[in-house]
Amino acid sequence: MPSTYSNLKIQLMATGENSTTWGDVTNTNLGTAIEEAIAGSADVTFASGDVTLTLSDTNGTQTARNMRLNLIGTTGGVTRNLIVPSIEKAYIVNNTCGDAVVVKTTAGTGITVPAGKTTWVFTNATNVVDIVTHLTSLTLGSALPVASGGTGSTSGNASALTGFNASNVSSGTLAVSFGGTGANAAPTARVNLLPSYGGNAGKLLALNAGATDVEWISAGGAGTVTSVNASTAISGLSFSGGPVTSAGTLTLSGTLGVQGGGTGTTSLTSGAVLIGAGTSAVTSVSPGTAANVLTSNGSAWVSQAPSGGGAVSSVTGSGSGISVSPTTGAVVVSNTGVTSIVAGTNVTISGATGAVTINATGGGGSGTFSANDGSVSAPSIFFTGATNMGMYRAGTSINFAAGGVNVFAATSTQTQISANNTQRILCDATGSSLSGTIVFSTSSTPASASATGTAGTITWDSNYIYVCTATNTWKRVAIATW
Protein backbone atom coordinates (compact mmCIF):
# COMPACT_ATOMS: atom_id res chain seq x y z
CA MET A 1 0.00 0.00 0.00
CA PRO A 2 1.53 3.41 -0.96
CA SER A 3 2.08 6.36 1.36
CA THR A 4 -0.56 9.05 1.97
CA TYR A 5 -0.06 12.72 2.94
CA SER A 6 -1.48 14.93 5.69
CA ASN A 7 -2.85 18.46 5.15
CA LEU A 8 0.66 19.79 5.80
CA LYS A 9 1.98 17.22 3.30
CA ILE A 10 3.82 15.10 5.88
CA GLN A 11 4.38 11.67 4.31
CA LEU A 12 2.43 8.93 6.11
CA MET A 13 4.07 5.60 5.24
CA ALA A 14 1.98 2.46 4.98
CA THR A 15 2.87 -0.67 7.02
CA GLY A 16 5.89 -2.44 5.52
CA GLU A 17 6.61 0.40 3.06
CA ASN A 18 10.10 1.78 2.53
CA SER A 19 11.70 -1.09 4.48
CA THR A 20 15.20 0.18 3.81
CA THR A 21 14.53 3.93 3.41
CA TRP A 22 11.88 4.62 6.04
CA GLY A 23 14.50 6.42 8.11
CA ASP A 24 15.18 8.89 5.28
CA VAL A 25 11.46 9.59 4.89
CA THR A 26 11.12 10.12 8.64
CA ASN A 27 14.08 12.49 8.70
CA THR A 28 12.56 14.57 5.89
CA ASN A 29 9.19 14.61 7.66
CA LEU A 30 10.81 15.87 10.88
CA GLY A 31 13.62 18.00 9.52
CA THR A 32 11.79 19.63 6.63
CA ALA A 33 8.00 19.31 6.70
CA ILE A 34 7.32 19.65 10.45
CA GLU A 35 10.10 22.17 10.98
CA GLU A 36 8.71 24.44 8.19
CA ALA A 37 5.20 24.21 9.68
CA ILE A 38 6.40 25.07 13.20
CA ALA A 39 9.23 27.56 12.69
CA GLY A 40 9.90 27.91 8.96
CA SER A 41 9.98 31.24 7.09
CA ALA A 42 9.69 31.66 3.31
CA ASP A 43 9.67 34.68 0.97
CA VAL A 44 6.62 35.29 -1.23
CA THR A 45 7.41 37.55 -4.18
CA PHE A 46 4.75 39.83 -5.78
CA ALA A 47 5.07 41.18 -9.32
CA SER A 48 2.13 43.62 -9.68
CA GLY A 49 -0.41 40.84 -9.35
CA ASP A 50 -2.05 38.39 -6.96
CA VAL A 51 -0.12 35.34 -5.69
CA THR A 52 -1.58 31.86 -5.06
CA LEU A 53 0.22 29.32 -2.81
CA THR A 54 -0.50 25.60 -3.14
CA LEU A 55 0.59 22.32 -1.49
CA SER A 56 1.42 19.09 -3.35
CA ASP A 57 1.92 15.49 -2.13
CA THR A 58 5.58 15.72 -1.14
CA ASN A 59 7.30 16.14 2.20
CA GLY A 60 9.99 18.24 0.49
CA THR A 61 10.19 21.98 1.10
CA GLN A 62 7.07 24.01 0.13
CA THR A 63 6.41 27.73 0.66
CA ALA A 64 2.78 27.30 1.70
CA ARG A 65 3.79 25.00 4.61
CA ASN A 66 5.97 27.63 6.36
CA MET A 67 4.77 29.31 9.57
CA ARG A 68 6.05 32.76 8.53
CA LEU A 69 5.40 34.25 5.08
CA ASN A 70 7.61 37.24 4.24
CA LEU A 71 5.92 39.27 1.46
CA ILE A 72 8.38 41.03 -0.87
CA GLY A 73 8.38 42.46 -4.41
CA THR A 74 6.09 44.98 -6.12
CA THR A 75 2.33 45.21 -5.61
CA GLY A 76 1.88 47.94 -8.24
CA GLY A 77 0.09 50.63 -6.25
CA VAL A 78 -3.07 48.62 -5.45
CA THR A 79 -4.14 46.10 -2.82
CA ARG A 80 -3.24 42.51 -3.83
CA ASN A 81 -4.46 39.06 -2.72
CA LEU A 82 -2.32 36.28 -1.20
CA ILE A 83 -4.36 33.09 -1.66
CA VAL A 84 -3.38 30.26 0.71
CA PRO A 85 -4.51 26.59 0.75
CA SER A 86 -7.93 25.87 2.29
CA ILE A 87 -6.62 23.86 5.27
CA GLU A 88 -6.46 24.58 8.99
CA LYS A 89 -3.16 26.38 9.53
CA ALA A 90 -1.69 29.41 11.30
CA TYR A 91 0.48 32.01 9.48
CA ILE A 92 2.57 34.95 10.60
CA VAL A 93 2.43 37.35 7.62
CA ASN A 94 5.07 40.08 7.35
CA ASN A 95 4.17 42.56 4.58
CA THR A 96 7.22 44.51 3.32
CA CYS A 97 5.44 45.58 0.07
CA GLY A 98 4.28 49.10 -0.66
CA ASP A 99 0.57 48.26 -0.57
CA ALA A 100 -1.81 46.28 1.64
CA VAL A 101 -2.22 42.53 0.96
CA VAL A 102 -5.35 40.49 1.72
CA VAL A 103 -4.58 36.96 2.97
CA LYS A 104 -7.51 34.71 2.00
CA THR A 105 -8.59 31.35 0.63
CA THR A 106 -9.76 30.94 -2.92
CA ALA A 107 -13.49 31.28 -2.16
CA GLY A 108 -13.46 32.69 1.37
CA THR A 109 -12.91 35.99 3.13
CA GLY A 110 -9.58 37.19 4.45
CA ILE A 111 -7.58 39.54 6.65
CA THR A 112 -5.89 42.70 5.29
CA VAL A 113 -2.25 43.13 6.26
CA PRO A 114 -1.25 46.82 5.88
CA ALA A 115 2.00 47.75 4.16
CA GLY A 116 4.94 47.50 6.53
CA LYS A 117 2.98 45.53 9.16
CA THR A 118 3.01 41.97 10.51
CA THR A 119 -0.21 40.07 11.30
CA TRP A 120 -0.91 36.68 12.87
CA VAL A 121 -3.78 34.92 11.06
CA PHE A 122 -5.40 31.52 10.89
CA THR A 123 -7.12 29.75 8.02
CA ASN A 124 -9.99 27.57 9.21
CA ALA A 125 -10.20 25.75 5.85
CA THR A 126 -12.91 28.20 4.71
CA ASN A 127 -11.86 31.74 5.64
CA VAL A 128 -8.75 33.46 6.96
CA VAL A 129 -9.41 35.08 10.39
CA ASP A 130 -7.50 36.84 13.20
CA ILE A 131 -5.88 34.50 15.69
CA VAL A 132 -6.20 36.99 18.58
CA THR A 133 -9.41 39.00 19.19
CA HIS A 134 -9.14 39.47 22.98
CA LEU A 135 -6.36 40.10 25.50
CA THR A 136 -6.91 40.08 29.28
CA SER A 137 -4.02 42.48 29.76
CA LEU A 138 -1.56 44.39 27.60
CA THR A 139 1.60 46.30 28.41
CA LEU A 140 3.05 48.56 25.71
CA GLY A 141 6.71 49.31 25.50
CA SER A 142 5.96 52.72 23.94
CA ALA A 143 3.02 55.11 23.63
CA LEU A 144 0.12 53.94 21.47
CA PRO A 145 -0.13 56.37 18.54
CA VAL A 146 -3.29 58.34 17.81
CA ALA A 147 -3.73 56.47 14.50
CA SER A 148 -4.16 53.28 16.50
CA GLY A 149 -6.63 54.77 18.97
CA GLY A 150 -4.09 56.03 21.53
CA THR A 151 -2.82 59.48 22.54
CA GLY A 152 0.76 59.16 21.45
CA SER A 153 1.84 60.06 25.01
CA THR A 154 3.05 58.08 28.01
CA SER A 155 2.22 60.74 30.63
CA GLY A 156 -1.39 59.71 31.01
CA ASN A 157 -0.58 56.54 32.94
CA ALA A 158 -1.64 55.38 36.34
CA SER A 159 0.80 57.74 38.17
CA ALA A 160 -0.55 60.86 36.35
CA LEU A 161 -4.20 59.93 36.02
CA THR A 162 -5.43 58.45 39.28
CA GLY A 163 -8.95 57.86 38.03
CA PHE A 164 -11.98 59.79 37.03
CA ASN A 165 -13.18 61.66 40.10
CA ALA A 166 -14.49 65.03 41.19
CA SER A 167 -11.05 66.60 40.64
CA ASN A 168 -10.93 65.91 36.93
CA VAL A 169 -14.46 64.96 35.89
CA SER A 170 -17.46 67.28 36.36
CA SER A 171 -20.94 65.91 35.70
CA GLY A 172 -19.60 63.22 33.43
CA THR A 173 -17.21 65.37 31.35
CA LEU A 174 -13.47 65.01 30.93
CA ALA A 175 -11.48 68.05 31.96
CA VAL A 176 -9.38 69.90 29.42
CA SER A 177 -6.27 69.18 31.45
CA PHE A 178 -6.83 65.48 30.85
CA GLY A 179 -7.44 65.76 27.12
CA GLY A 180 -11.18 66.51 27.23
CA THR A 181 -13.26 69.60 26.57
CA GLY A 182 -14.74 70.04 30.03
CA ALA A 183 -18.19 70.16 28.45
CA ASN A 184 -20.91 67.96 27.05
CA ALA A 185 -22.17 70.57 24.51
CA ALA A 186 -20.36 72.21 21.60
CA PRO A 187 -20.95 75.89 22.57
CA THR A 188 -19.56 75.27 26.06
CA ALA A 189 -16.65 73.27 24.66
CA ARG A 190 -15.74 76.20 22.37
CA VAL A 191 -15.81 78.56 25.35
CA ASN A 192 -13.47 76.23 27.24
CA LEU A 193 -11.03 75.68 24.36
CA LEU A 194 -10.88 79.09 22.60
CA PRO A 195 -9.42 82.36 23.90
CA SER A 196 -11.80 84.39 26.04
CA TYR A 197 -14.80 85.83 24.24
CA GLY A 198 -14.94 88.89 26.47
CA GLY A 199 -14.37 92.19 24.65
CA ASN A 200 -13.72 90.45 21.33
CA ALA A 201 -17.08 90.87 19.58
CA GLY A 202 -16.65 91.36 15.80
CA LYS A 203 -13.07 90.15 15.79
CA LEU A 204 -11.54 87.32 13.78
CA LEU A 205 -9.83 84.16 15.08
CA ALA A 206 -6.33 83.85 13.61
CA LEU A 207 -3.03 82.09 14.21
CA ASN A 208 -0.70 84.20 16.31
CA ALA A 209 2.64 85.55 15.10
CA GLY A 210 4.61 82.70 16.65
CA ALA A 211 2.32 80.10 15.11
CA THR A 212 1.87 78.55 18.54
CA ASP A 213 -1.77 79.31 19.27
CA VAL A 214 -4.83 81.18 18.09
CA GLU A 215 -5.95 84.67 19.11
CA TRP A 216 -8.61 87.25 18.39
CA ILE A 217 -7.67 90.06 15.96
CA SER A 218 -9.54 93.05 14.58
CA ALA A 219 -10.97 92.66 11.09
CA GLY A 220 -8.91 94.64 8.56
CA GLY A 221 -10.37 97.03 5.94
CA ALA A 222 -13.31 98.14 8.05
CA GLY A 223 -14.69 101.67 7.55
CA THR A 224 -17.70 103.77 6.71
CA VAL A 225 -18.97 104.42 3.15
CA THR A 226 -20.73 107.75 2.72
CA SER A 227 -21.24 107.82 -1.07
CA VAL A 228 -21.31 105.30 -3.93
CA ASN A 229 -21.52 106.21 -7.62
CA ALA A 230 -20.70 104.58 -10.95
CA SER A 231 -19.77 105.63 -14.48
CA THR A 232 -18.78 103.94 -17.73
CA ALA A 233 -16.76 104.85 -20.79
CA ILE A 234 -18.53 102.30 -22.96
CA SER A 235 -20.29 103.95 -25.90
CA GLY A 236 -24.07 104.09 -25.55
CA LEU A 237 -24.27 103.10 -21.86
CA SER A 238 -24.74 105.24 -18.76
CA PHE A 239 -25.53 104.94 -15.05
CA SER A 240 -28.27 106.78 -13.21
CA GLY A 241 -29.36 106.98 -9.58
CA GLY A 242 -26.03 108.00 -8.11
CA PRO A 243 -24.47 108.94 -5.93
CA VAL A 244 -26.06 106.73 -3.30
CA THR A 245 -25.34 108.20 0.13
CA SER A 246 -27.57 106.03 2.30
CA ALA A 247 -29.76 103.65 0.32
CA GLY A 248 -30.64 103.54 -3.36
CA THR A 249 -30.16 101.85 -6.71
CA LEU A 250 -27.67 102.45 -9.49
CA THR A 251 -29.30 101.74 -12.89
CA LEU A 252 -27.42 100.90 -16.10
CA SER A 253 -29.26 102.00 -19.24
CA GLY A 254 -28.73 102.73 -22.93
CA THR A 255 -27.78 100.70 -26.00
CA LEU A 256 -24.37 99.08 -26.32
CA GLY A 257 -22.65 100.75 -29.26
CA VAL A 258 -20.42 99.24 -31.90
CA GLN A 259 -17.29 100.60 -30.19
CA GLY A 260 -18.19 98.58 -27.10
CA GLY A 261 -18.83 95.37 -29.05
CA GLY A 262 -22.59 95.93 -29.51
CA THR A 263 -24.81 96.75 -32.47
CA GLY A 264 -25.94 100.26 -31.54
CA THR A 265 -29.58 99.22 -32.01
CA THR A 266 -32.28 97.74 -29.80
CA SER A 267 -34.18 95.87 -32.51
CA LEU A 268 -33.23 93.75 -35.52
CA THR A 269 -35.52 92.59 -38.31
CA SER A 270 -36.06 88.86 -38.22
CA GLY A 271 -34.10 87.13 -40.98
CA ALA A 272 -32.31 90.32 -42.05
CA VAL A 273 -28.61 90.50 -42.91
CA LEU A 274 -26.55 92.89 -40.77
CA ILE A 275 -24.47 95.52 -42.58
CA GLY A 276 -21.62 97.35 -40.89
CA ALA A 277 -21.58 101.15 -40.79
CA GLY A 278 -18.21 101.97 -39.26
CA THR A 279 -18.64 103.16 -35.69
CA SER A 280 -22.33 103.92 -36.27
CA ALA A 281 -25.13 101.49 -35.48
CA VAL A 282 -25.33 98.52 -37.80
CA THR A 283 -27.99 98.50 -40.52
CA SER A 284 -29.74 95.55 -42.08
CA VAL A 285 -31.07 94.30 -45.41
CA SER A 286 -34.35 92.38 -45.32
CA PRO A 287 -34.70 89.23 -47.43
CA GLY A 288 -37.30 90.77 -49.75
CA THR A 289 -38.84 88.53 -52.41
CA ALA A 290 -38.18 84.77 -52.48
CA ALA A 291 -35.07 83.79 -54.51
CA ASN A 292 -33.55 87.27 -54.14
CA VAL A 293 -29.80 87.54 -53.76
CA LEU A 294 -27.61 90.00 -51.82
CA THR A 295 -26.04 92.30 -54.41
CA SER A 296 -23.70 95.25 -54.24
CA ASN A 297 -24.75 98.34 -56.21
CA GLY A 298 -21.29 99.83 -55.74
CA SER A 299 -22.03 101.73 -52.55
CA ALA A 300 -24.45 99.54 -50.59
CA TRP A 301 -25.84 96.01 -50.36
CA VAL A 302 -29.38 95.40 -51.62
CA SER A 303 -31.74 92.42 -51.87
CA GLN A 304 -32.87 91.94 -55.46
CA ALA A 305 -33.67 89.31 -58.06
CA PRO A 306 -30.64 87.68 -59.73
CA SER A 307 -29.56 89.63 -62.78
CA GLY A 308 -29.82 87.86 -66.12
CA GLY A 309 -27.40 90.28 -67.77
CA GLY A 310 -27.84 93.59 -69.48
CA ALA A 311 -28.25 94.57 -73.09
CA VAL A 312 -25.47 93.27 -75.35
CA SER A 313 -24.64 95.42 -78.32
CA SER A 314 -22.05 93.14 -79.89
CA VAL A 315 -20.67 89.62 -79.44
CA THR A 316 -17.53 89.13 -81.51
CA GLY A 317 -15.88 85.78 -82.03
CA SER A 318 -12.34 85.11 -83.16
CA GLY A 319 -10.16 82.11 -83.76
CA SER A 320 -12.49 79.13 -83.41
CA GLY A 321 -15.53 81.35 -82.68
CA ILE A 322 -17.98 81.66 -79.78
CA SER A 323 -18.59 78.47 -77.84
CA VAL A 324 -21.53 77.89 -75.44
CA SER A 325 -21.22 74.54 -73.66
CA PRO A 326 -23.87 73.81 -71.01
CA THR A 327 -23.97 70.50 -69.19
CA THR A 328 -27.76 70.26 -68.91
CA GLY A 329 -30.88 72.04 -70.05
CA ALA A 330 -31.47 74.17 -73.09
CA VAL A 331 -29.18 76.76 -74.70
CA VAL A 332 -30.97 79.82 -76.09
CA VAL A 333 -29.26 82.45 -78.21
CA SER A 334 -31.70 85.35 -78.64
CA ASN A 335 -31.42 88.64 -80.47
CA THR A 336 -33.41 90.47 -77.81
CA GLY A 337 -31.27 93.53 -77.08
CA VAL A 338 -28.47 92.22 -79.33
CA THR A 339 -27.74 94.28 -82.39
CA SER A 340 -25.19 91.93 -83.98
CA ILE A 341 -23.23 88.71 -83.52
CA VAL A 342 -20.09 88.82 -85.61
CA ALA A 343 -18.19 85.52 -85.92
CA GLY A 344 -14.58 85.01 -86.80
CA THR A 345 -14.63 81.62 -88.49
CA ASN A 346 -17.87 80.31 -86.98
CA VAL A 347 -20.23 80.41 -84.01
CA THR A 348 -20.47 77.03 -82.23
CA ILE A 349 -23.17 76.05 -79.72
CA SER A 350 -22.58 72.58 -78.28
CA GLY A 351 -24.71 71.16 -75.47
CA ALA A 352 -24.22 67.94 -73.49
CA THR A 353 -27.98 67.56 -73.07
CA GLY A 354 -31.11 69.54 -73.93
CA ALA A 355 -32.16 71.54 -76.92
CA VAL A 356 -30.32 74.35 -78.70
CA THR A 357 -32.58 77.21 -79.83
CA ILE A 358 -31.64 80.23 -81.96
CA ASN A 359 -34.31 82.94 -81.83
CA ALA A 360 -34.36 86.03 -84.00
CA THR A 361 -37.46 87.80 -82.69
CA GLY A 362 -38.33 91.25 -81.42
CA GLY A 363 -38.13 94.74 -82.88
CA GLY A 364 -41.58 94.49 -84.41
CA GLY A 365 -40.73 91.93 -87.07
CA SER A 366 -39.19 88.53 -87.74
CA GLY A 367 -35.45 88.28 -87.62
CA THR A 368 -33.03 86.72 -90.07
CA PHE A 369 -30.55 83.92 -89.49
CA SER A 370 -27.80 84.00 -92.16
CA ALA A 371 -25.20 81.36 -93.04
CA ASN A 372 -23.08 80.53 -96.05
CA ASP A 373 -24.58 78.13 -98.59
CA GLY A 374 -22.24 75.27 -97.81
CA SER A 375 -22.05 71.93 -99.66
CA VAL A 376 -22.41 68.18 -99.19
CA SER A 377 -18.85 67.88 -97.86
CA ALA A 378 -19.01 71.10 -95.79
CA PRO A 379 -22.57 71.83 -94.53
CA SER A 380 -23.15 75.38 -93.31
CA ILE A 381 -25.03 74.08 -90.25
CA PHE A 382 -23.47 70.88 -88.92
CA PHE A 383 -23.82 68.50 -86.00
CA THR A 384 -20.87 68.18 -83.62
CA GLY A 385 -19.32 64.72 -83.60
CA ALA A 386 -20.61 63.69 -87.05
CA THR A 387 -18.46 63.90 -90.18
CA ASN A 388 -20.04 65.89 -93.05
CA MET A 389 -23.48 65.70 -91.46
CA GLY A 390 -25.68 68.79 -91.43
CA MET A 391 -27.78 71.19 -93.45
CA TYR A 392 -26.88 73.52 -96.30
CA ARG A 393 -28.54 75.47 -99.15
CA ALA A 394 -27.82 74.47 -102.74
CA GLY A 395 -29.43 76.74 -105.31
CA THR A 396 -33.12 77.03 -104.49
CA SER A 397 -33.27 73.97 -102.23
CA ILE A 398 -32.42 73.23 -98.59
CA ASN A 399 -30.44 70.00 -98.40
CA PHE A 400 -29.70 67.63 -95.53
CA ALA A 401 -26.52 65.57 -95.70
CA ALA A 402 -25.23 62.54 -93.84
CA GLY A 403 -21.62 61.48 -94.25
CA GLY A 404 -21.16 63.58 -97.34
CA VAL A 405 -24.17 61.97 -99.12
CA ASN A 406 -27.26 64.06 -99.92
CA VAL A 407 -30.26 62.33 -98.32
CA PHE A 408 -32.97 64.99 -98.42
CA ALA A 409 -33.65 68.19 -100.34
CA ALA A 410 -36.62 70.52 -100.25
CA THR A 411 -37.76 73.42 -102.46
CA SER A 412 -40.95 75.43 -102.60
CA THR A 413 -42.49 73.03 -105.16
CA GLN A 414 -41.19 69.59 -104.28
CA THR A 415 -39.44 67.34 -101.77
CA GLN A 416 -36.72 64.93 -102.91
CA ILE A 417 -35.10 61.96 -101.14
CA SER A 418 -31.80 60.89 -102.68
CA ALA A 419 -29.11 58.27 -102.12
CA ASN A 420 -25.54 58.80 -103.29
CA ASN A 421 -26.73 62.08 -104.86
CA THR A 422 -29.22 60.12 -107.05
CA GLN A 423 -32.94 60.96 -106.78
CA ARG A 424 -34.99 58.03 -105.44
CA ILE A 425 -38.35 59.54 -104.45
CA LEU A 426 -39.96 62.85 -105.50
CA CYS A 427 -43.14 64.30 -103.95
CA ASP A 428 -44.93 67.37 -105.41
CA ALA A 429 -45.96 70.38 -103.31
CA THR A 430 -49.51 69.13 -102.75
CA GLY A 431 -48.35 65.68 -101.64
CA SER A 432 -50.79 64.06 -104.14
CA SER A 433 -48.11 62.88 -106.57
CA LEU A 434 -45.23 60.57 -105.65
CA SER A 435 -42.72 59.33 -108.23
CA GLY A 436 -39.74 57.09 -107.98
CA THR A 437 -39.06 53.66 -106.64
CA ILE A 438 -40.00 52.81 -103.02
CA VAL A 439 -38.13 49.87 -101.52
CA PHE A 440 -39.46 48.07 -98.41
CA SER A 441 -36.32 46.18 -97.50
CA THR A 442 -37.70 44.15 -94.60
CA SER A 443 -40.54 41.64 -94.96
CA SER A 444 -43.15 41.14 -92.24
CA THR A 445 -46.15 38.85 -92.06
CA PRO A 446 -49.14 39.83 -89.88
CA ALA A 447 -50.16 36.98 -87.56
CA SER A 448 -53.79 37.16 -88.68
CA ALA A 449 -56.32 39.42 -90.37
CA SER A 450 -57.00 41.02 -86.98
CA ALA A 451 -53.40 41.41 -85.91
CA THR A 452 -52.27 44.70 -84.34
CA GLY A 453 -51.77 47.32 -87.04
CA THR A 454 -52.20 50.98 -88.02
CA ALA A 455 -54.30 51.95 -91.03
CA GLY A 456 -52.10 52.63 -94.08
CA THR A 457 -49.32 50.25 -93.11
CA ILE A 458 -47.96 48.18 -96.05
CA THR A 459 -45.76 45.10 -95.62
CA TRP A 460 -44.96 41.92 -97.53
CA ASP A 461 -43.60 38.40 -97.54
CA SER A 462 -42.74 35.93 -100.34
CA ASN A 463 -46.43 35.14 -101.10
CA TYR A 464 -48.54 38.26 -100.34
CA ILE A 465 -48.67 42.01 -100.06
CA TYR A 466 -50.49 43.07 -96.86
CA VAL A 467 -52.33 46.36 -96.35
CA CYS A 468 -53.80 47.53 -93.01
CA THR A 469 -57.08 49.14 -94.09
CA ALA A 470 -58.27 50.04 -90.59
CA THR A 471 -57.01 49.69 -87.07
CA ASN A 472 -56.13 45.98 -86.49
CA THR A 473 -57.70 45.07 -89.85
CA TRP A 474 -55.53 43.54 -92.58
CA LYS A 475 -56.17 42.54 -96.23
CA ARG A 476 -53.80 40.81 -98.61
CA VAL A 477 -53.27 40.08 -102.28
CA ALA A 478 -51.29 37.12 -103.67
CA ILE A 479 -48.18 37.75 -105.77
CA ALA A 480 -46.60 35.44 -108.37
CA THR A 481 -43.81 35.37 -110.94
CA TRP A 482 -44.37 35.73 -114.72
Residue pLDDT, tens place only, 150-205:
667 766 544 444 455 555 545 567 788 777 888 888 999 898 889 998 888 888 98
Is residue 67 included in any domain, yes or no? yes
Residues 21, 112 within the same domain: yes
Residues 44, 64 within the same domain: yes
What residues make up the domain containing 362?
A: 330-370
What is the rounded distance in angstroms from the CA atom of residue 428 to the CA atom of residue 423? 14
Residues 334, 388 within the same domain: no
Mean per-residue pLDDT of the chain? 79
Better pLDDT: 138 or 158: 138
Residue 156, pLDDT score: 52
Share of the chain above pLDDT 90, in %: 35
Residue pLDDT, tens place only, 9-68:
999 999 989 889 999 999 999 999 999 999 999 999 999 999 999 999 999 999 999 999
Residue pLDDT, tens place only, 248-290:
898 988 888 777 778 878 788 877 888 887 778 878 888 878 7
Is residue 407 included in any domain, yes or no? yes
Residue in 185, 190, 157, 184 with CA at minimum distance from that of residue 171: 184
Residue 382, pLDDT score: 62
Residues 110, 17 within the same domain: yes
Confidence tier at 301 by pLDDT (50, 70, 90): confident
Residue 64, pLDDT score: 96
Is residue 264 included in any domain, yes or no? no
Residues 42, 62 within the same domain: yes
Confidence tier at 353 by pLDDT (50, 70, 90): very low
Is residue 104 included in any domain, yes or no? yes
Residues 364, 414 within the same domain: no
Residues 55, 104 within the same domain: yes
Residues 97, 66 within the same domain: yes
Residue 268, pLDDT score: 83
Domains in the chain, number: 4
Residues 423, 451 within the same domain: no
Residues 480, 419 within the same domain: no
Residue pLDDT, tens place only, 418-470:
666 666 666 666 666 666 667 777 888 999 999 999 998 999 998 999 999 99
3-state secondary structure the chain: CCCEECCCCCEECCCCCCCCCHHHHHHHHHHHHHHHHHHCEEEEEEECCCEECCCCCCCCCCHHHCCEEEEEEECCCCCEEEECCCCEEEEEEEECCCCCEEEECCCCCEEEECCCCEEEEEEECCCEEECCCCCCCCCCCCCCCHHHCCCCCCCCCCCCCCCCCCCCEECCEECHHHCCCCCCCHHHHHHHHCCCCCCCCCCEEEECCCCCCEEEECCCCCCCCCCECCCCCCCCEEEECCCECCCCCCEEEECCCHHHCCCCCCCCCCCCEEECCCCCCCEEECCCCCCCEEEECCCCEEEECCCCCCCCCCEECCCCCEEECCCCCCEEEECCCCCCEECCCCEEECCCCCCEEEECCCCCCCCCCCCCCCCCCCCCEECCCCCCCEEEEECCEEEEEECCEEEEEECCCEEEEEECCEEEEEEECCCCCEEECCCCCCCCCCCCCCCCCCCCCEEECCCEEEEEEECCEEEEEECCCC
Its pTM stands at 0.36
Residues 116, 31 within the same domain: yes
Residues 106, 52 within the same domain: yes
Domain boundary, last residue among 130, 160, 195: 130
Is residue 200 included in any domain, yes or no? no
Residue pLDDT, tens place only, 1-10:
689 999 999 9
Is residue 291 included in any domain, yes or no? no
Is residue 153 included in any domain, yes or no? no
Domain boundary, last residue among 115, 130, 145: 130
The β-bridge partners of 68 are: 41, 92
Q: Name, of 136-150, 232-246, 468-482, the range with top average pLDDT.
A: 468-482
Residue in 82, 66, 91 with CA at minimum distance from that of residue 8: 66
Is residue 359 included in any domain, yes or no? yes
Domain boundary, last residue among 130, 148, 172: 130
